[in-house]
Amino acid sequence: MKFKLLVIFSLLIASINSFAQDKEVNIKIIETSDLHGNFFPYCFITNQPKSGSLSRISSFVKDQRNQYGDNVIVLDNGDILQGQPSVYYYNFIDTVSTHLCADVLNYVKFDAGNMGNHDIEAGNAVFDRWVEDCNFPILGANIIDTKTNEPYLPPYKVFEKDGVKVAVLGMITPAIPAWLPENLWKGLRFDDMEETARKWVPIIQEKESPDLLVGLFHAGNNAVQISGIYNENASKDVATNVPGFDVVFTGHDHSKRYSEVVNVAGDTVLIVNPGSNGDVVGDVTAKFKMKDGKVVSKEVGGQLTDMNDYQPDQEYDALFANQFSDVKDYVSKKIGTLSSTITTRPSFFGSSAFADLIHTLQLNISGAEVSLTAPLSFDTEIKEGDVYVSDMFNLYKYENMLYVMGLTGKEIKGALEESYSLWTNQMKSADDDLLLFREGNGHSSAFYKLKNASFNFDTAAGINYTVDVTKPKGEKINIISMADGTPFDYDKVYKVAVNSYRGNGGGEILTKGAGIAQEELSSRILSSTDKDLRYYLIKYIEENGVLNPQPLNQWKFIPEEWTQEAAKRDYKRLFDN
């Protein structure tokens, strides 16, 4: 009898041990990306309620922690320090308080962040302060300190959840030098993502032995060469060509994506991109089966989860009510008056008051002879009457500096040839499109109906010219004269006002178009503002009081008997929804 009881007891103990050793662990990983300062369910630019936002994300994260307990990992994938005035205010106006961006992320209890190109755009002083204020690491394996030749930020972070090790490797697109002035990232370099991954993945595997390897990449899905140097949007290349990753979170291109690729080792890698502005999050669940304290199998899946199904977090909104009020007071400051409403829409079809206002301001601020600019906001307007700081974020979307560069007349023409080739079709008949549309009609967003991004659609002021849309690239532009009627000289070097994005090679207008080598661009910069262009635009409007924006009418599409009717058709196709 005692023997039978001993056997039963032994079997019971063995069963308990087996139960304790064999278990399933579920880990939830949440990704935000390209929030662009959307911390509140309110737009400080339009002064209206807004979809998405970190406030709604906070509600979702709390819900997930109620379900998964401590087995939740929350990651941000960069481009958070630019966009809404809420970040501009704490980047450049209130530089003493804890940065709002760190405050809100700390409240939500993010576990790691990643650096994006627009975070670098804020400048070293700003992003260093933000990194220091965050209670979690901001990653950047391929952001290298040129003095030490080591990563400027932690390359990766390891989390242990219920016996499971999750490693997260963070990287940024390396094309920063093609977009941003060196003074914003002085002392740093940005290494190729695939080369960096090949270095760090074996290190992580050998040192950390993770059960799950996650890529947190501020780069899009489809690789392209920028200026013949930088491999941009290489996330899928890394996931495919560097074995080891289970999940790759992407960002930067604002394109929602939930897909899989098979890497060179034959393993499946999940690729997730939540788009932008906090409307959606990447929502991944990793399920692990464990035996004797070790992972014996894993299953990774998930979805893109809409944050507009969640209410804003009332506790969050109440906690940051003072910061909300400070930002709202800042953007509500009146700076001048417009005599008429201006909109970006006419900018795609000819000389427009909106684009030409920026041209006029750039020429006046810089003293340049020629100005190049594009409609940085695709579809926006500023109404006649009082103008406020908030309107300046519509007038000028990004924190670019203003450069004056030395370009020959021939290079100006080349730049315009490249620009117009990005947005105008070569018309063969009067029935053809004037604009260059994407193939297919499955694009609900007007921005994505066009083949290329409108922030690269440069026009010029200071010169009179025509654009013959029946001609191929290289033959479209005919520069007639300077704006005052004096001759235009293709061999003369002119002072040209451009934003720093363009001047550093952005859009490849000056490299492909003007034919200037990427490494030569910096030598062409004659002067640069020390603050962003929006700052000087605000000052200019304050000083002038009342502005009467009008089209300069210094360029037009020809032949007009074709283009005027085509413009009417294309306008409806682009904007009539």
Residue 458: CATH number of its domain: 3.90.780.10
Query: Are residues 318 and 387 located together in one domain of the fold?
Result: no
CA distance 370 to 367: 9
Would you say residue 4 lies in a domain? no
HSE-CB at 410 with a 13 A cutoff on CA atoms is 4
Single residue among 327, 345, 371 that ends a domain in this structure: 327
Comparing CA positions, the residue from 321, 255, 376 lying closest to residue 86 is 321
Structure tokens at 130: 């933000």
Burial class (CB within 10 angstroms; exposed 0-12, middle 13-18, buried 19+) of 51: middle
Query: Are residues 321 and 395 located together in one domain of the fold?
Result: no
Query: Are residues 489 and 352 located together in one domain of the fold?
Result: yes
Based on the structure, what is the number of domains in the chain? 2
Query: Are residues 156 and 271 located together in one domain of the fold?
Result: yes
Comparing CA positions, the residue from 359, 455, 362 lying closest to residue 403 is 362
Say what the pLDDT of residue 4 is: 47
Would you say residue 440 lies in a domain? yes
Would you say residue 549 lies in a domain? yes
| DSSP bridge partners of 231 | 225
Confirm if 128 and 186 have CB atoms less than 8 A apart. no
| H or E segment and range at residue 224 | strand 224-226
End-to-end CA distance of the chain: 85
Confirm if 31 and 281 have CB atoms less than 8 A apart. yes
Would you say residue 551 lies in a domain? yes
- Which residue shows structure tokens 């997730």? 272
At 553, the amino acid letter reads N
Cα dist from 500 to 16, 81, 123, 364, 525, whole Å: 66, 18, 13, 17, 10
Per-residue pLDDT of the chain (577 residues; tens, 9 = 90+): 444 444 444 444 444 444 445 899 999 999 999 999 999 999 999 999 999 999 999 999 999 999 999 999 999 999 999 999 999 999 999 999 999 999 999 999 999 999 999 999 999 999 999 999 999 999 999 999 999 999 999 999 999 999 999 999 999 999 999 999 999 999 999 999 999 999 999 999 999 999 999 999 999 999 998 888 999 999 999 999 999 999 999 999 999 999 999 999 999 999 999 999 999 999 999 999 999 989 999 999 999 999 999 999 999 999 999 999 999 999 999 999 999 999 999 999 999 999 999 999 999 999 999 999 999 989 999 999 999 999 999 999 999 999 999 999 999 999 999 999 999 999 999 999 999 998 865 545 667 789 999 999 999 999 999 999 999 999 999 999 999 999 999 999 999 999 999 999 999 999 999 999 999 999 999 999 999 999 999 999 999 999 999 999 999 999 999 999 999 999 999 998 6
Comparing CA positions, the residue from 173, 154, 147, 145 lying closest to residue 111 is 154
Query: Are residues 111 and 176 located together in one domain of the fold?
Result: yes
Would you say residue 118 lies in a domain? yes
CA distance 244 to 215: 10
Would you say residue 10 lies in a domain? no
Cα dist from 292 to 12, 75, 166, 516, whole Å: 17, 30, 18, 62
Cα dist from 139 to 144, 207, 443, whole Å: 12, 18, 34
Query: Are residues 318 and 429 located together in one domain of the fold?
Result: no
Query: Are residues 407 and 468 located together in one domain of the fold?
Result: yes
Q: Which domain holds residue 440?
A: 334-575
Single residue among 299, 327, 355 that ends a domain in this structure: 327
Q: Interior CA angle at 508 toward 507 and 512, to 5°?
A: 150
Query: Are residues 46 and 139 located together in one domain of the fold?
Result: yes
Confirm if 337 and 385 have CB atoms less than 8 A apart. yes
Structure tokens at 521: 């661009």
- Give every CB contact of residue 568 below 8 A, 6+ residues apart in sequence: none
Query: Are residues 378 and 318 located together in one domain of the fold?
Result: no
Burial letters 501-538, b for 16+ CB under 10 A, else e: bbbbbbbbbbbbbbebebeebeebbeeebeebbbbbbb
Query: Are residues 271 and 346 located together in one domain of the fold?
Result: no
Would you say residue 6 lies in a domain? no
- Which residue shows structure tokens 């939540």? 274
Single residue among 306, 327, 348 that ends a domain in this structure: 327
Structure tokens at 520: 């030569």
CA distance 74 to 283: 10
Query: Are residues 403 and 453 located together in one domain of the fold?
Result: yes
Say what the pLDDT of residue 576 is: 84
Query: Are residues 88 and 212 located together in one domain of the fold?
Result: yes
Residue 53: CATH number of its domain: 3.60.21.10
Radius of gyration of the chain measured on its C-alpha atoms:
27
Confirm if 366 and 378 have CB atoms less than 8 A apart. no
Would you say residue 130 lies in a domain? yes
